[in-house]
Amino acid sequence: MHFNCIMAGFGGQGILSAGMMLAHMAVSQNLNATWFPSYGAEQRGGTANCMVVVSDDEIGSPVITKPSYGFIMNYPSLVKFQPRFRVNAGVILDTSLIPLSYINRNDLKFYSINATELAESIGNVKVANVIMIGALLKISSLFDIMVAESALKYAISEKYHHLLDINRKALEIGFEKISPLN
């Protein structure tokens, strides 16, 4: 098994944390994982992305040149990463923040979820990234929802364990509300 994805948005959306969560989920299942973050010097408000590779074999490099999966949480990231995806890649867009008119490839499998709006509706916009993880797990079948939920306590710092319930809810929403665009 070999899984790779890119997660991209702006600083403050929890992009890097989402990648770290996914890597923790993989390790909880005795899989190998790499997490490779990248962000602009300005961090909050600047661009942020990370690459995650999960495999049952050794991982040769954390760098992904043609991602198979990914989620994009803002327009500048869509512009930057849309050309990089491999043909037939599964790409999830936070359509709360990205108009569908900016899609310019018809050889990708695009999915839509209003992650930011859904996160606001459950009381914490900061879990939009976890909604995106739930959606990613659904389209990729990397892990089922139970595996993801049980790994949250290891993926989230202990000082934020009071937020485990809302993060579980966010995973479930992402898993349930994702819908294909094409």
Give the per-residue pLDDT at 42: 52
Kindly report each contact of residues 119-126 with a partner whose C-beta sits within 8 Å and lies 24 or more positions away, as own/partner.
Answer: 119/170, 122/166, 122/169, 122/170, 122/173, 123/166, 124/163, 124/166, 126/14
The reported pTM is 0.92
Tally the domains of the chain: 1
Q: Which of 133-137, 152-156, 166-170 has the lowest mean pLDDT?
A: 152-156
DSSP lists the bridge partners of residue 37 as: 50
Give the per-residue pLDDT at 12: 83
Summarised one tens digit per residue, pLDDT across range 74-83 is: 999 999 999 9
Angle at 176 between CA 36 and CA 71, to 5 degrees: 25
Beta strands in 40-160 (DSSP E): 47-55, 69-72, 90-94, 109-113
Give the per-residue pLDDT at 26: 95
Look up the CATH number of the domain holding residue 150: 3.40.920.10
Summarised one tens digit per residue, pLDDT across range 14-23 is: 899 999 999 9
Q: Which domain holds residue 100?
A: 2-180
Residue in the structure block whose two tokens are 């485990």: 164
How many Cβ atoms from other residues are within 10 Å of residue 147's Cβ?
14
**Alpha carbon distance 70, 61 (integer Å):** 18
**Alpha carbon distance 122, 142 (integer Å):** 25
| Torsion-angle region of 157 (φ positive above 0: left; ψ -120 to 50: alpha; else: beta) | beta
